[in-house]
Amino acid sequence: MKSARLHKIVSYVRKDDRVLDIGADHAYVPILLREQNLTTVADVAEITRGPLESARKNIIASGFRNQINLFLSDGVLSVDINKYDTFVIAGMGGISINTILRQKKIKQNLILHPTNAIPKVRKTLCKLRYEIKDEVVVEENGVFNVILFAEYSGKRRYMSAKKAYLGPLMSINKSEETKKYFERSLNSLKTVNAKTNGKKFGKEIKWIESIWK
């Protein structure tokens, strides 16, 4: 499996952690975990039968039919969360991710790839007493994917709107992919700002320019 995004997600899984992939992206992450022999527990939870069956077909084709369990579940509502050490929620909107994070009191490690509303996800992690340990940008097929790794700390932290937007770690990460991500974001924001006579995204433009001059 050549996906840089998926390999980065898998890289955050500690050896022998029990993993549940929620909204499983065709079960590619559990399959990759099993292929790399990183864990003996890598399961799938999907909210509807269509994606669940797609995941099942990929699991059967991969040869891990009896090693990966599948659950029909709205997030973690129908899952015993105590059986897992790490949750993966990837390729899902940030609002949906936040909904899942609030379904139960969870303390598992989190590997998240929100496709939008990323500042809202960061804010929610703080409110739920998580600490963002790493966040990176992975470019794949012209798309910039922001991936967050968070651990439960038990401490509620305040995060300003600026830090939530820029990312507590991404704002100091000077990688080429991160730079490209912010450059593209800045160009998009400036286009909208110009069309609205400066009425939208003025703060966000200043925030990005403050770190990427």
Question: In the chain, what percentage of residues exceed pLDDT 70?
Answer: 99
**Crossing angle (nearest 10°) for helices 28-35 and 4-11:** 60
Residue 213 has pLDDT above 80, yes or no: no
Cα separation, 55 vs 72, whole angstroms: 11
Contact by Cβ (8 Å): 175, 184:
no
Pairing of strands 143-152, 109-114: antiparallel
More confident residue, 183 or 24: 183
SS3 182: helix
pTM over 0.85: yes
Per-residue tokens: 188: 């998009």
Cα separation, 22 vs 13, whole angstroms: 15
pLDDT digits (tens, 9 = 90+) for 106-141: 999 999 999 999 999 999 999 999 999 999 999 999
User: What is the overall mean pLDDT for the chain?
Assistant: 94
Cα separation, 23 vs 74, whole angstroms: 9
Residue 49 has pLDDT above 80, yes or no: yes
Residue 138 has a CB neighbour count (10 Å cut-off) of 21
SS3 72: strand
End-to-end CA distance of the chain: 37
SS3 111: strand
pLDDT mean over 159-179: 92
List CB contacts of 81: < 8 A, sequence separation 6 or more.
20, 87, 104, 106, 108
Residue 212 has pLDDT above 80, yes or no: no
Architecture per CATH, domain 4-158, reads as 3-Layer(aba) Sandwich (3.40)
pLDDT at 12: 97
pLDDT band for position 1 (cuts 50, 70, 90): low
Residue 52 has pLDDT above 80, yes or no: yes
Per-residue tokens: 142: 């012209």
Cα separation, 86 vs 195, whole angstroms: 43
Domain ranges of the chain: 4-158, 174-213
pLDDT digits (tens, 9 = 90+) for 181-190: 999 999 999 9
Sign, CA dihedral 140-192-115-173, equals positive
